[in-house]
Amino acid sequence: MRWLLHLRAALVTATFAISAFVADGEHLKDGFFEAAAQIIPVLLLALALQGGMLSPAVGRPFATDLLGSLFLFVTFLTGELIALEAVASGEASPDEGVIVIAVLAAGFVGVSLTALTHGTRPRRKGSEDDGSSD
């Protein structure tokens, strides 16, 4: 199951890189940074609720989960800070727009992969999810 964590990290990183390469920060509409500053925390919350950041997965090394979660958290934090700075100052460079677009794309992939792989984790005996009773 460790390969799923590595695959998730690789796909999120690839999505960020590809999005940053193809995104056009020159033609962003008014309100983009305001919307991004609201969407990024929602993506972070969705990841946390999926179990990808709040607790280590059963049967997986804690350090691996921690590193993956820390990577996603730093990615989201960077995008959020850039979006908030652009909102506060009222202006942003095209490069800042590219970074925020890449964070949003990578965040969507991270949330989707976490949701898809959430059911593949082994369950603890006696948990509500495995159908056994106390």
| Residue 19, H or E segment | helix 2-22
Cβ atoms of 113 and 8 closer than 8 Å: yes
pLDDT tens, position by position, 6-29 = 777 788 889 989 998 988 888 888
pTM of the predicted model, to two decimals?
0.73
Helix (H, G, I), strand (E, B) or coil at 24: coil
pLDDT tens, position by position, 44-101 = 887 777 654 555 555 554 445 566 677 778 888 999 999 999 999 988 888 999 999 9
Domain ranges of the chain: 2-23+30-117
